[in-house]
Amino acid sequence: MAHPGIGEGIDRVDARVKVSGRAAYPTDHDRPDLAHAVLVQSTVGAGRITAVDASSAKAAPGVLAVITHENAPELHEARDRKATLPPPPLQSDRIVHHGQTVAVVVAETFEQATEGALLVRVEYAPATPVVHIDDPRAEHVHDPFGSDDGTGDVEKALAAAPVRVEQTYRTAVNTNHPMGPFATVASWDGDELTVHDCTQGPSRTRADLAATFNAPQDTVRVLAPYLGGGFGAGLRTWSHTVLAAVAARHVGRPVKLVLTRKQMFTSVGHRPDTTQRLRIGATRDGRITAIDHEARQTLSMCDVNTEMVSRVSLSGYASPNLSARDVQVRVNVPSPGSMRAPGDGQGNFALECALDELAHELGMDPLELRLRNYAEEHPVTGQQWSSNDLRECYRVGAEEFGWSRRTPEPRSMRRGRTLVGYGMAGTSFFFYQPPCSARITVGRDGHAVVGSAGMDLGTGTYTVMTQLAAELLALPLQRVHMVMGDSSLPQAPSAGGSGLTGSMGSAVHAASRNLIRSFLDLVRDDPASPLHGAGEDDVRVQDGRIVRKDGGGGESYEAILTRYRREELTAEGSAGAPAEDRPVVPTGPYAAKFAEVHVDPDLGVVRVARLVTAAHCGRILNEKTARSQLIGGTVGGIGMALLEETITEPRTGRIANGTLGDYLVAVNADIPELDVHFVGGPDPTNPNGTKGCGELGIPGTPAAIANAVFHATGTRVRHLPITIEDLL
């Protein structure tokens, strides 16, 4: 029985369910006697609520309840709010940002709830909001993650360096905009809570809700088998999820709460803006002697968010003197959160643009500068990389792109009147592989069911885990069924940080080995079995059978279960996070990005004409889904470079472009053919040899584009997005 091999670009196993409309997203779930909730949000950016008049709303047809800070139940703050759970909603009269939820209206229908929300009158004692990262009134939080680090004497090395680059780079606020607006359906059965939610981590959301309601975790069930996109927005348990559960308990009925597109701008996080100061010293032959990277980013008034921006400079290039520091600046904005490639997306832009400036100052090819400073080992710790094929990424990417055709002088390449620019960047993404568990059951019919609480936010996890389990059990793909997105399954991490494939894959690997051991335990003392007395090291799996390596025969799973009158056999497996204090440091994926841009010299319009990515992502479980992830991330990187910017009014704190008509995202017309090439081999950190790849598409893309714009025009733009006005 043949089964698809790992690495083959097979179609997604959940594709038919999705394209036929049978995939149930959170908004698709209806319950008997379902009520609907709509949020009322603040119209001031800071201050206090002085009065709430809900009388007209309560008298409106169909309205069941209006919940405000005056009648909301006490909600508990999680003991460890480490970037997953914002402060509980509706617990005081304080306003910390424009668009903060100040009330929830519950009604028989969505339309009635919407009408009721318009009738709620809220009065404020407003204060002047602090919204800008450079506002001197803002509070600064130094070393917020305990991650500031370095080596050597940076100041001394910079002072002695023959060549120095010192510049400030800025990145804008970007807002996550998944295709599906976030929604929650919550229902209580006594003290047991069930929610269908737009979460990237059912296990985490269960823990957050249990902490909020001071309840045992086993009384909460979170379901998220399908998600209409997330890009990091689903990595936190947002207030609308909590409030849907509050509303359901308040009215004694299931409640559905769906955010509007405008509310998505204020309710599910964003990529915080940054101001980054880079100082690089080098010798005249291009050896980097010092890198100093200080990054400031915005943070909301009463929340936490983990976004390590400057760390890219601690591991990117060889230098004896390094310093990286992060500072968070508290302002009156909605709570930030992870957005694809958090921290690395912003930090890589500053570092790789600064290197391009250094190469120009030296009169050196930007690719040669990076090759000359390739880090053979971790620059700070001295550890060897678990695997690092960045050199090969540079070679393959440059060859596929045709980098050798680049002429060095800015404005030296044209196509007719159009200015042509070539730019490149190197990049990596941090290693992340948290603990995970999985369960495998094989039935008498020869089918396997694999389960884990992790979810597939669209990256292809259903598919690659099905492929992996099929390989580990030697079963045809059609006889393996993957079940995910349910917190009642074995605990799993959130789908984020490019870590789920490594984590869940390792857990599935462990579960499959434990299952084979269980089958061998059944037949170990059975003289009628060809596997009698065999241990794990004596066998392998082949064509749905466990067979002896010495050729002494074997048995199928079905035959063993039938003989022992067992309907099924189940085993669980777990995998922990690998230790990072070893001689070899676990390392994430790497890539080299090469961009060609065309710039209209009269209009300042920038078009990305080509973009080539060469990536080292370890063992590729499915080329089609892996390539799709890098292409999707690259599209986001183009948006970050040229289009996306969430604009906040400085006097009011209101988001001024809170619609998809005003907040620009990349569309088909903005995107050229995107080439992706995989290089390198498996990584030994986990038994399946994988690295993450889902977030590798963004880091490097904005920098490669910005560097290409400089090459085309001679104008160095040190902020994102790059606009027409910058080039006129």
Active site residues: 695
As a 3-state breakdown, the chain gives helix, strand, coil percent values, each rounded to 5, of: 30, 25, 45
Both structure tokens of 278: 């880079």
Cα distance between residue 648 and residue 637, in whole Å: 22
Dihedral over alpha carbons 656, 660, 661, 662 (to 10 degrees)? 30
Evaluated on CA atoms 154, 158, 163, 167, the torsion sign reads: positive
Please, which residues have CB within 8 angstroms of residue 60's CB and are 6 or more apart in sequence?
A: 107, 112, 115, 116, 119
CB 35 within 8 A of CB 254: yes
Query: Which residue has 């799993």 as its token pair?
Result: 492
Query: Which residue has 């599910």 as its token pair?
Result: 268
Provide the 10 A C-beta neighbour count for residue 381: 15
* Alpha helical stretches, state H, 190-343: 202-212, 239-251, 261-267, 312-315
DSSP 307-350: ---TTHHHHSS--S-EEEEEEEEE-SS------SSTTHHHHHHH
- Three-class DSSP category at 585: strand
Provide the 10 A C-beta neighbour count for residue 508: 30
Task: Give Dmax (Cα) for the chain.
Answer: 86
Which phi and psi angles does 166 have, rounded to 5°? -135, 110
Please, which residues have CB within 8 angstroms of residue 71's CB and are 6 or more apart in sequence?
A: none
Cα distance between residue 88 and residue 212, in whole Å: 7
- Three-class DSSP category at 440: strand
Q: Which of 187, 246, 177, 178 is nearest to 29 (CA)?
A: 187
Burial of 134 (0-12, 13-18, 19+ CB in 10 A): exposed
Instruction: Determine which helix (DSSP H) or strand (DSSP E) holds 464, and give its type and residue range.
Output: helix 461-473
Both structure tokens of 577: 């996070």
Cα distances (Å, whole numbers) of residue 256 to 107, 198, 280: 10, 12, 53
Q: Which of 236, 224, 322, 227 is nearest to 281 (CA)?
A: 322
Q: Which amino acid is at 52?
A: V
Dihedral over alpha carbons 614, 615, 618, 624 (to 10 degrees)? -80
CB 33 within 8 A of CB 83: no
Provide the 10 A C-beta neighbour count for residue 505: 27
Q: Which of 459, 461, 460 is nearest to 451 (CA)?
A: 461
Q: Which of 52, 486, 65 is nearest to 257 (CA)?
A: 65
Please, which residues have CB within 8 angstroms of residue 565's CB and are 6 or more apart in sequence?
A: none
Query: Which residue has 């065309």 as its token pair?
Result: 598
Cα distance between residue 545 and residue 548, in whole Å: 10
